[in-house]
Structure 1
Amino acid sequence: MKQTTVIAGLDIHTYTTEAFASSTKPILALFVLHGRTGDSGSAHVQDLITALVDAAAGHAGQKDLMVIAFDHRNHGTRLRDEVGNLDFKANPKHVHDMYSIQTGTAKDVSFVMDFLEAYLFPSGERSVAEWGVAGVSLGGHSTWIAAATDPRVKIAIPIIGCPDYLGLMVPRAEADGISVGPPHFPEGLLSLIRSEALSALPYTSKGDENPFLGKNVLVLSGGRDPVVPWSASQAFVEGLEVGTGNKEYIVVPNAGHEVTPEMVKAAVEYILRVL
């Protein structure tokens, strides 16, 4: 079942099983974030949502699943500049736009977490026991950021996404003959990115400063992805320390920049394990 709730002008779509309305179980709320140039209605989002909800309907767990989707900034109902979603060949501000949208989306996830219960359950009828984020491509980048910046996010499933922004964008620029400097890489923007970069975090540490400790992370990547290659994420993912949490990663050998049935199956099974 789909319900749309408007929060501060933002359309928030929630998807649940038919049994959800009469249930009193705690809720696992999972965001599913779409890719660049797509929206919350894109097939790669809706297919994953359908698979998740259908699986939850037949699963007798301790929690109910609620899936959440919305349009990224400058996408779907929020589109203001089509060029801003394109790559270097059409958009000289590709580095600016990709970073601002993915970090903005992570902030939107936190914003929705702040308010969603109050809008959906104004009398305290239900509560969200656990929050998670799954995302595809651009949404996968945002998933990494949301997991690193909001302690409420306990589950992260980045799909064909990358945690190392410059590790992804610098080779992309070089492949297009673009130098890593102004105007495509302004110094002020580079300073901001480096100060916020996940690759600069002590993610291999077991100390309290590591934001991934205790979190459950499933990374799904394509072995032949030409857009977000596994090589851009590999060092970060392999070195990631989650402590008492869980870390798994699957690189589908022959997959390109796509969400394969194997990836959908892995994501669904991962969620069922924590329901």
Structure 2
Amino acid sequence: MKLFEHDQTKFSKNEYFIGGIKTYVYNTDALPAYIESHHLSETNVDEMAINVLYLLHQRGGDFKYTEAIAYNILAQYYAKKPESNDVPLLCVTFDLRNHGERLLDEAKNLDWRKGNPTHALDMISGIMGNVADLKLIMDFLPSYLNLEGLLSREFRQKNQHWHFKYRNILSGYSLGAHTVFRFVNEHPEHIVAINPVVGCIDLSSLLINRLKQNAIDSTDYDKKWFYYTYDELDLNSEEKEQYPEHLHNYLKAEDESIFENFPMQDVKIFASFGAVDKLVPAKLSSVWCDTYLNTNDSAEIFTQEDTGHDVTPEMIDNFTTWLVKNI
């Protein structure tokens, strides 16, 4: 995935060290004037919300990829939003586990084809670690921002039970998109919208097809492997070493929950896929996406023709158009 061109001069960037994780927050400069104008008005105080977009990078990447996208999203968002909408948008990035400055073993980010026999274990445990890290940052970022410190004593006395409304949005790319689905499955009450890009809701099928090297046009590739017992996978001894039974049982429960119980009515979605993506084929999520479209009126699925496993300018442009309209 390429590093997008971006202008770092238009929006502020602050670094916070949250629970041992360097966390970068963009556009905090927009907050003081917004808060001052709202908290002085008794008529719109309940509308004082903050939109926070968390961006999660791909396997093998780092926060610099999502930082470049963040600057593009911010520029497009403010160019497209109506003047009547003065709610600020913040973007948040950080290095995922075993990536960027947190890299410990680069080999653990490789797949089976590139010689990593524990690819499945490393990827899934990393994703769930990312879920925990994201929850930690989401819980403590408001404390580091300390927006309550911008409120007057008079306001605090009149509104003792009032609090800022953080409308959290998740945007993830490839590995980051896998993480988005798992995070919402674990913590749906914290998210208002998601933007998964070239991700997969069914990691059981993704990994088993990858392990068994099933052809994408085969009947085996169309199976929902999370509905199968471990014995029904019909793995040989080497494959069993690479895909242990305990992992299958753990992952199948996660995937079944996402497939059947995802909070589609409560969480808005704009998802993007590449029509010719061979690494994470869109067909693995197609039935689920169709269900989303029939469940949530705000849902949009963008599948870009002649595009593989990549993030494109069109995907970002379409997402920001959707974001202005729906958030």
Q: Would the TM-score normalized by the shorter structure come out above 0.5?
A: yes
Structure 1 121/274 Cα, relative in aligned 2: closer, same or farther at 3 Å? farther
State the match for 2:218 in structure 1.
Answer: none
Q: CA deviation at 1:241?
A: 6.9
Structure 2 length-normalised TM: 0.75
Secondary structure of 1:183's match? helix
Of residues 149, 171, 195, the one that matches 2:186 is 149
CA distance in 1, matches of 2:101, 2:67: 16
**Higher-helix-fraction structure:** 2
Extract unaligned runs of 5+ from structure 2.
1-11, 36-47, 151-162, 216-233
Q: CA deviation at 1:144?
A: 1.2
State the match for 1:186 in structure 2.
Answer: 244
CA distance in 1, matches of 2:300, 2:32: 33
Matched, 1:3 2:14: yes
Matched, 1:251 2:294: no
Kept in 1: contact 2:108–2:119 (CA 8 A): yes
Q: CA deviation at 1:122?
A: 6.0
> How many pairs were matched up?
267
Alpha-carbon deviations, 1:105-134, whole Å to 9, x = none?
122221111111011116354834311100
Of residues 179, 187, 197, the one that matches 1:159 is 197
Matched, 1:172 2:197: no
Kept in 2: contact 1:218–1:247 (CA 8 A): yes
Secondary structure of 1:68's match? strand
Structure 1 241/263 Cα, relative in aligned 2: closer, same or farther at 3 Å? closer
Secondary structure of 2:148's match? coil
CA distance in 2, matches of 1:33, 1:217: 16
Structure 1 length-normalised TM: 0.89
State the match for 1:82 in structure 2.
Answer: 106
Corresponding letter in the other structure for 1:114: D
CA distance in 1, matches of 2:127, 2:294: 23
**Higher-strand-fraction structure:** 1
Corresponding letter in the other structure for 2:282: W
Of residues 70, 81, 97, the one that matches 1:49 is 70
Kept in 1: contact 2:53–2:91 (CA 8 A): yes
Alpha-carbon deviations, 1:177-232, whole Å to 9, x = none?
994742111111111111222x34463xxxxx543321101110000011111111
- Aligned positions of 1:1-275 closer than 5 A: 1-16=12-27, 18-24=29-35, 25-42=48-65, 45-58=66-79, 59=81, 60=83, 61-89=85-113, 90-121=115-146, 123-125=148-150, 127-150=164-187, 151-175=189-213, 179=235, 181-197=239-255, 199-201=256-258, 203=260, 210-240=262-292, 243=295, 246-275=298-327
Corresponding letter in the other structure for 1:46: E
Kept in 2: contact 1:214–1:246 (CA 8 A): no
What's the % identity of the aligned pairs? 27
Structure 1 119/16 Cα, relative in aligned 2: closer, same or farther at 3 Å? same
Q: CA deviation at 1:68?
A: 0.6
Structure 1 163/272 Cα, relative in aligned 2: closer, same or farther at 3 Å? same
